[in-house]
Amino acid sequence: MPPIRLSEWRKLPLNLTDLCIETTLRCGQSFRWRKIDDEWNCVLYGRLLSLKQDKTHLHYKVVSSTIIPPALTATAPVSVKDEANNLPNDDTEALIRHYFSLKHDLTALYDQWSKSDPNFRKKAPKFTGIRILSQNPWEALIGFICSSNNNISRISQMVHKLCRHYGPLVGHIGDEAFHDFPTPQALSGKKVEAHLRELGFGYRAKYIAETARIISEEKPEGWLESLINPENPGWCSTKMATATELPTYRRAHEQLLLLSGVGPKVADCVCLMGLGWDESVPVDTHVWQIAQRDYKFGKTKTKTFSKVMYDSVGDHFRKIWGKQAGWAQSVLFTANLKSFSEHGSDKAEVVDVKVKLEDIENDISTDKSTTRSRKRRQIAVMETIKTENHTPTEAVRASKRRKIRS
């Protein structure tokens, strides 16, 4: 495989309808992208990437790299011809195509969902170019364990701390250091939990350390990758464990629930954004708001949320949107976030819904040390959206005192 070339801007023909990185990288899928000036930066598989976008192209370059590119398991070219000098290229373009799931015709999908759903047809024109990222399953797993009872800004801070303290340094942009995501082995040490608590992870420290230990010590190599949807292969060199049965969305979801700190919503997030199960619909309080407000979900006016209701909401949306329901859900989820209200002339409606957190996010350990915390998290709470890069209004300041429970 040709070596990765550094510091050369290259471009892919992509308009903002096909992909909008300004929206896709900010809507709570990945928590490691950092924007410096007009460029988005992140380490993916040992290479520090910079991205920027205009109306007709996605521009990208590799700032630094520490490893040889991993074997490509997705169906994509290993080498591409450079338009300018016709020299053999590395596989960075293939990685970008994979990461942003560019094999899917987004315009056709939006048309399909608009025909079957009047509400989507109303909201979608202001939120084009939103794609589901094809992330590393391990990174998605830990990132969404951090998302429990949290907001995008704080999740991003936690993930940054994980990378800075436990991930390998790949390069710098100015004075900012960029690290790759830590391995399960790096997060499974005996002192990891205590250190993460010192760093402000709270009860999530136990879940991260325990899940890392399970993955690195109890599960066979490639176990997590064996849950990947074969129709959406991953990008990795990890040997997949031999599966005893064919992978399905339901089986992947059930297996993830066996891990520490993983409840139904976290499992669905990992299925959708880490394992390629496009029909997965993560249901948190925001999505429950959408289901009640826009789809008149449920025969009663109850705002109590249970595991049965969780499954019913997902099935309802799968019936409306089809095989890639998770993609459609992400568009409406983003449209519901207050930080994206500038996308349209109509101000985003903030709906406060009291939700009893029973089994929607079953991320609470049965350990006695967390019993009191569990009881506190199960009370009815007011839900107000907080997102990164948003100037607080009085409503949002008030929400900070209440803390998000999603």
Could you list the active site residues?
265
Closest CA to 249 of 146, 312, 334, 318: 318
Please list, in sequence order, all residues whose beta carbon lies within 8 angstroms of the beta carbon of residue 197, skipping any fewer than 6 positions away: 205
Matching residue, tokens 């391995």 = 183
Residue 62 sits at the vertex; the CA angle it makes with 57 and 68, to the nearest 5 degrees, is: 130
Closest CA to 346 of 357, 362, 335: 335
3-state secondary structure of 47: strand
Is the distance from CB of 202 to CB of 155 less than 8 angstroms? no
DSSP strand pairing (34-36 vs 39-44): antiparallel
Helix ranges, 39-136 (H): 92-99, 106-116, 118-123
* Measured distance CA(72)–CA(81) in Å, rounded: 17
* Measured distance CA(366)–CA(25) in Å, rounded: 34
Please list, in sequence order, all residues whose beta carbon lies within 8 angstroms of the beta carbon of residue 180, skipping any fewer than 6 positions away: 43, 45, 46, 66, 163, 167, 168, 170
Distance, C-alpha 370 to centroid of its chain? 26
* Measured distance CA(289)–CA(354) in Å, rounded: 10
Torsion angle of C-alpha atoms 405, 123, 37, 178, degrees rounded to 10: 50
Is the distance from CB of 80 to CB of 86 less than 8 angstroms? no
